[in-house]
C-alpha cells in the first residue's frame, strides 16, 4: 500500500500542523510505502529515523512564503491557485493507494476529482472546526460562510475523516459517518522528566513556561498578550521561559526567550527545567493538544482554561491538570506555585494518564488498522 501524506507546509519546521504530519508518518512507518508531499526550503533532506520515506518537495519561493503565513491570512488564500495545480500533477503522474491530507482544504478540493477518477482513497485529518475557528478570531462574516461551504464539501467527499478533537468529531459527523476520533499523541519514551533535570523544590525562584511558536495565529499571539499584560501581577518569585519562535519580545528581566529550537531534545530539556506550564487558551475549538500532552508526559503540572481542555477526553481537571477561568489564572498560579506536594501529585497523575491514553504505543496499532481497513474496502 502506497500512501501520500499531503502537507501545505514544511515538515521540518515546528509549527503544529507540520509536526502532526511527522507524527502521521511515524505511525505508518515502516509498515507501508510512504511519500511526503510538502513545500520546504530544505532540499535533499531525509526525515530522521524514516530514511525510507520518499519526499516530493513542491516548494518554491512563493509557495514557501505563502505556507509560512498565519492560517487565515489573505495571502494564504493564494495557495489554492499555486498549490492545487502542482499537487494535481503529482497525483496524476504517480501511483497512490491513499491520499492523507493534513488539514489541507484547498489541496483536497483541487485534487478530489482526480482521486475519484483514479479510485484513490482519501483521508482528511480535521484538527478543529475551521469555520468556528474563523468566527472565534473575528474574521469577516462572508469568509466564515465561505469556509462553511468548503468544509461541508470536503467532509462529505472524504472516504474517511480523522478528527483530532471531540467537537470536530460531533460537527463533521453530521456530514459524513465515516469519521474516527484519534487524539494527539506523544512518544512517552522521549518525553520523560528525568530526576536530574527537575528543579529543586527548595529553590526560591520558580520558572513558568509558555510554549509557542507565537507568530503563527491569533491564538498563539494571545498567549504573549496574556503574559505581557499580567507580568506585574504574577508573584515576584516567578520567572518565565518563552519556548519557541517569537518576534515580539518584551524587555523584562523576568522573561527569557529560547528562540527557535532546532531539535526535540533541546525542547524536552527546556521543558524539564520548568516548574509548571501555562496555557492561557481562549479559542475553544481544537485546543492546544500537543503542547499540553507533551508537558504532561514530562510530569509537568499544566495550568490552562476550559478552552484548553477541549479534545483531552481522559484528562480530569484537578487530578491531571489545573483548569481555571482565564481571569483567575494569575491568582491560581500565585497561590499554588509553592505547593510542592500538590504540584507533584498533579504532575505524577498527568504522566500516568498520558501513558494510558495518549502514548504512541496505544494509538499506533489502532491507527494502522483503520487505514488498512479503508484500503481493503
What confidence tens digit (pLDDT) does each residue in 201-259 have? 556 789 999 998 786 556 667 899 999 999 999 999 999 999 988 888 999 999 999 99
What confidence tens digit (pLDDT) does each residue in 53-103 have? 999 999 887 777 766 666 555 555 666 678 889 999 999 999 999 999 999
Neighbouring C-beta atoms of residue 260, cutoff 10 Å: 13
pLDDT of residue 125: 96
- The whole-angstrom separation of Cα 304 and Cα 88 is 41
User: What's the full length of the chain, in residues?
Assistant: 377
Q: Which residues of 100-137 are buried (b: 16+ CB within 10 A; e: fewer)?
A: bbbbbbbbbebbbebbeeeebbbbbbbbbbbbbbbbbb
pLDDT of residue 15: 74
Q: Which of the residues in the chain have pLDDT under 70? A: 66-80, 195-203, 215-220, 284-288
- The whole-angstrom separation of Cα 296 and Cα 302 is 7
pLDDT of residue 148: 93
Listing DSSP states for 120-148 in one string gives -EEEEEE-S-HHHHHHHTT--HHHHHHHH
Which domains, ranges and CATH numbers included, belong to the chain? 2-184+359-376 (3.40.50.2000), 195-357 (3.40.50.2000)
Q: How far is CA 186 from the centre of its chain?
A: 11
- Residues 157 and 112: beta-carbon distance below 8 Å: yes
Give the position of cell 472546526: 129
Amino acid at each position: 500500500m502506497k500512501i501520500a501524506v499531503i502537507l501545505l507546509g514544511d515538515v521540518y519546521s515546528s509549527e503544529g500542523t507540520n509536526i502532526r504530519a511527522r507524527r502521521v508518518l511515524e505511525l505508518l512507518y515502516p509498515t507501508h510505502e510512504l511519500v511526503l508531499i510538502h513545500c520546504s526550503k530544505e532540499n535533499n533532506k531525509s526525515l530522521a529515523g524514516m530514511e525510507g520515506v520518499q519526499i516530493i518537495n513542491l516548494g518554491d519561493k512563493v509557495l514557501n512564503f505563502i505556507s509560512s503565513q498565519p492560517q487565515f491570512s489573505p495571502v494564504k488564500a493564494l495557495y489554492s491557485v499555486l498549490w492545487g495545480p502542482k499537487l494535481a500533477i503529482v497525483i496524476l503522474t504517480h501511483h497512490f493507494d491513499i491520499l492523507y491530507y493534513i488539514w489541507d482544504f484547498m489541496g483536497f478540493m483541487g485534487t478530489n476529482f482526480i482521486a475519484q477518477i483514479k479510485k484513490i482513497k482519501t483521508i482528511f485529518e480535521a484538527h478543529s472546526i475551521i469555520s468556528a475557528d474563523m468566527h472565534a478570531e473575528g474574521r469577516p462574516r462572508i469568509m466564515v460562510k465561505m469556509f462553511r461551504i468548503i468544509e461541508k464539501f470536503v467532509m462529505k467527499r472524504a472516504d474517511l475523516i480523522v478528527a483530532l478533537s471531540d467537537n470536530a468529531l460531533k460537527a463533521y459527523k453530521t456530514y459524513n459517518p465515516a469519521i474516527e476520533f484519534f487524539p494527539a499523541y506523544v512518544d512517552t519514551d522521549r518525553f520523560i522528566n528525568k530526576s536530574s533535570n527537575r528543579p529543586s523544590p527548595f529553590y526560591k525562584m520558580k520558572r513558568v513556561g509558555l510554549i509557542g511558536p507565537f507568530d503563527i495565529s491569533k491564538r498563539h499571539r494571545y498567549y504573549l498578550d496574556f503574559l505581557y499584560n499580567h507580568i506585574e501581577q504574577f508573584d515576584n518569585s516567578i520567572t518565565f521561559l518563552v519556548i519557541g519562535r517569537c518576534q515580539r519580545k518584551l524587555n523584562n528581566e523576568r522573561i527569557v526567550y529560547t528562540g527557535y529550537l532546532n531539535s526535540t531534545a533541546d525542547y524536552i530539556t527546556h521543558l524539564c527545567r520548568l516548574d509548571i506550564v501555562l496555557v492561557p487558551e481562549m479559542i475553544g475549538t481544537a485546543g492546544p493538544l500537543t503542547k499540553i500532552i507533551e508537558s504532561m508526559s514530562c510530569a509537568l503540572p499544566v495550568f490552562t482554561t476550559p478552552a484548553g481542555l477541549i479534545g483531552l477526553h481522559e484528562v480530569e481537571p484537578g487530578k491531571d491538570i489545573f483548569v481555571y477561568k482565564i481571569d483567575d489564572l494569575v491568582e491560581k498560579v500565585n497561590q499554588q506555585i509553592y505547593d510542592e506536594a500538590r504540584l507533584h501529585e498533579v504532575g505524577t497523575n498527568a504522566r500516568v494518564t498520558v501513558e494510558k491514553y495518549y502514548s504512541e504505543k496505544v494509538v499506533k496499532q489502532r491507527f494502522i488498522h483503520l487505514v488498512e481497513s479503508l484500503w481493503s474496502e
